[in-house]
A and B are shown apart, each in its own frame.
Chain A
C-alpha cells in the first residue's frame, strides 16, 4: 500500500501553504494598496488551467508547471488591471468580479476545458532525480515556491515601491499631488499579485491533480479574502495564518457540526468588529507585555 495513514496532515499543510501564497498575493492588493478585489480567483484559476493544459498536453517540465501559468496570469492581470484600476471602490470590486465570472463562464462552457466537471488527470512535473508523486518531495517543492513567493513579496513591500503603495492606500490624492503616477503603481501591484496568484493556482492544480471551474468562481476570491482578514491585513504572515485557520477550521469543525458556515461567519464578523489586525494582531498583542 503506497498510502500511509500519516500523510494526511502533511497534505493539509501543503494545501495551507498553497492557499497561503494565494492569500498573500491578495493581501498585496487589499492590505497594502487598498484595493479590495473579488476577482482574484481569475488568476488562481487561470494559473491552474494553464498548468493543467501544459502538463497534460505539452511537457511535464517546470516551465509547464509554474512558469507559463504565472506568465499567463500576469498577462491577464495586465489586461484586467489596466481596465479595472480606472475605477475605484465598489466599481473596482464589481469590475474585477465581472472579469473572473466571465472566465468562469468560459471554462464552464468550453468542452476542451472539461466544461462543468473540470480537467482530471493533471500530472506533476518530472524533475531530474526527484519523484514529485512522493508526498515528502512534493512538500519540499511547495515549500520552495512558498518561500520564493514570500521573499519576493517581502522585498516588494519593504521597497520604496511598497511604501508608495501604502501611501496610496492612506491618501491617494496626496500621493498624486506630490507627483506619483498613482495608477501605474496600482497596475504594477495588480500584475505582481496576479503572477503570484497564478503560481498558487498552478501549484493547486498539481496538488489536486485536477482543476475545476470552481477555482475561478468569485467565492474563491471571497474565501481568500476571509483568510486575509482573519489572519491580519498589511502583513505577509497574517494571510498565511489566516489560511491555516480557515482550512484548519473547515477541515476539523465541519467534521463535527453542520453549522460550520455559521461559525465562520460569526468568527469573521468578530474579527472585523473587534480585531481589525487579525489573528496576527492578537498574537502580537498577547506577546507585547513580555517583549
Chain B
C-alpha cells in the first residue's frame, strides 16, 4: 500500500506533466522527517499525518514553479535529469538538518497491538495502512471521475494543448498536480515511519521499486498503479519467503516480462 501511495503520486505527475519525477523518493523522505518533527512537537501522529504532506506539497510546488517550468520547452530528458539532481540535494539536506541516525516513532496507541485473523495474528497498524490506502484510492477515483477538476485533469492527460485551448490555466493545474503528487509521497512517508523507521537514504531505496510499479501498471494510469503495486507486492512477498535466492531478481524479472509483452505497461497509453 505504501508503494501504491507513492506510485499513484508519481503516475499522476507523469500523466499530467509528462515528467518522470526521480525526486519522488525524496518527497517520501521529506514527508517522513517532517512527520517526525511535527509529531515530536505535537505528540500526535494524526496531526503529523495531516500537516507533513502540506509542507512537502509546498516544497513540490516551489520546485515546479522555480525549476521544472523553465524546462518544459526542452523536452522530457532535461526534466528527468533535473529531478535526478534533486535526489542528491534533498538526501543530503535531510541528513544535514536531522542527522544520519535512524529515527522512528510508535504507531498511535489505538493501532498498537495485533489482531487475530484466523490462526495468525496480524498487526493492527498494517490493517490500518491497507484500509487507508484503499480509502485514498477511492477518494482519488471520485475526484478524477466525478468532479470538474477531475475532468480537467483527465482532459489534460489526454491532450494537454487542447485543454489549454479550452481556456484552462494549465500552468496552475500543473503546479497543483505536482504538489498533490508530492503530498501523496509525503503521506506514504509519514505512514512508513512506524513500520520501517526513517533515515536519509530511505527515499532512494524505495524509488526504484516505485518506478517499477508505475512502469508495470502503465504510466499515467491510476488503475495501473493499483494493479502494479498489488502484483509487485505479491511477487515480492512470495519470492522472499519461498525463493530467497532469487528474491533480488523477481521484481526486475516481473517488470521485464511485462514490458516485453506490453511495451507501455498493463494499462499504459501509447507514447507520443
Given contacts A95-B256, A105-B249, A269-B67, is CB(A259)–CB(B92) below 8 Å?
Answer: yes
How far apart are the CA atoms of A272 and B85 in the complex, in Å?
9
Shortest C-beta distance, A158 to chain B (Å), equals 23
In contact, A99 and B256 (Cβ under 8 angstroms): yes
Of B91, B93, B245, B265, the contact of A109 (CB 8 Å cutoff): B245
Given contacts A90-B219, A262-B93, is CB(A268)–CB(B271) below 8 Å?
Answer: no
B248 part of interface (Cβ distance < 8 Å): yes
**Chain A, Cβ-Cβ closest to B87:** A265
Which range holds the interface residue count of chain A? 35 or more
In contact, A94 and B211 (Cβ under 8 angstroms): yes
A273 part of interface (Cβ distance < 8 Å): yes
Interface string of B62-96 (1 = CB under 8 A from A): 00000100110010111011101111111111001
Shortest C-beta distance, B237 to chain A (Å), equals 18
A210 part of interface (Cβ distance < 8 Å): no
A83 part of interface (Cβ distance < 8 Å): yes
Residues of chain A with a CB closer than 8 A to B78's CB: 272, 276
Residues of chain A with a CB closer than 8 A to B87's CB: 265
Shortest C-beta distance, A207 to chain B (Å), equals 25
Interface string of A102-127 (1 = CB under 8 A from B): 10011011000000000000000000
**Chain B, Cβ-Cβ closest to A89:** B271
How far apart are the CA atoms of A139 and B271 in the complex, in Å?
47
**Chain B, Cβ-Cβ closest to A100:** B252
Shortest C-beta distance, A101 to chain B (Å), equals 5
In contact, B67 and A273 (Cβ under 8 angstroms): yes
A24 part of interface (Cβ distance < 8 Å): no
In contact, A218 and B88 (Cβ under 8 angstroms): no
Given contacts A218-B208, A269-B67, A273-B67, is CB(A87)–CB(B88) below 8 Å?
Answer: no
Of A88, A105, A268, the contact of B88 (CB 8 Å cutoff): A268
How far apart are the CA atoms of A274 and B234 in the complex, in Å?
44
In contact, B215 and A276 (Cβ under 8 angstroms): no
B185 part of interface (Cβ distance < 8 Å): no
Given contacts A83-B256, A101-B252, is CB(A94)–CB(B212) below 8 Å?
Answer: yes
B264 part of interface (Cβ distance < 8 Å): yes
Residues of chain A with a CB closer than 8 A to B264's CB: 87, 91
Given contacts A265-B87, A268-B85, is CB(A91)–CB(B259) below 8 Å?
Answer: yes
Given contacts A91-B259, A91-B263, is CB(A273)–CB(B92) below 8 Å?
Answer: no
Given contacts A94-B255, A261-B92, A266-B89, is CB(A83)–CB(B260) below 8 Å?
Answer: yes
Shortest C-beta distance, B105 to chain A (Å), equals 26
Shortest C-beta distance, A123 to chain B (Å), equals 30
In contact, A90 and B215 (Cβ under 8 angstroms): yes
Residues of chain A with a CB closer than 8 A to B76's CB: 89
How far apart are the CA atoms of A202 and B261 in the complex, in Å?
34
Shortest C-beta distance, B263 to chain A (Å), equals 4
Of A34, A87, A262, A276, the contact of B263 (CB 8 Å cutoff): A87
Of A34, A97, A108, A261, the contact of B91 (CB 8 Å cutoff): A261
Chain A, range 135-184, C-beta contacts under 8 Å to B: none
Residues of chain A with a CB closer than 8 A to B14's CB: 90
**Chain A, Cβ-Cβ closest to B79:** A272
Residues of chain B with a CB closer than 8 A to A36's CB: 77, 80-81
In contact, B259 and A269 (Cβ under 8 angstroms): no
**Chain A, Cβ-Cβ closest to B14:** A90
B191 part of interface (Cβ distance < 8 Å): no
A225 part of interface (Cβ distance < 8 Å): yes
A98 part of interface (Cβ distance < 8 Å): yes
B20 part of interface (Cβ distance < 8 Å): yes
Residues of chain A with a CB closer than 8 A to B71's CB: 272-273
Residues of chain A with a CB closer than 8 A to B77's CB: 34, 36
**Chain A, Cβ-Cβ closest to B67:** A273
Residues of chain A with a CB closer than 8 A to B208's CB: 97, 101, 218
In contact, B82 and A269 (Cβ under 8 angstroms): yes
Residues of chain B with a CB closer than 8 A to A97's CB: 208, 211
Extra inter-chain contacts (14) besides given A262-B96, A266-B89, CB under 8 Å: A83-B260, A87-B264, A94-B215, A94-B259, A101-B252, A102-B252, A105-B248, A265-B85, A265-B90, A266-B85, A268-B81, A268-B85, A269-B85, A276-B74
Q: Which residues of A contact B (CB under 8 A)?
A: 34, 36, 83, 86-91, 93-95, 97-99, 101-102, 105-106, 108-109, 218, 222, 225, 229, 259-262, 264-266, 268-269, 272-273, 276
Q: Which residues of B contact A (CB under 8 A)?
A: 14, 20, 67, 70-71, 74, 76-78, 80-82, 84-93, 96, 208, 211-212, 215, 219, 245, 248-249, 252-253, 255-256, 259-260, 263-265, 271
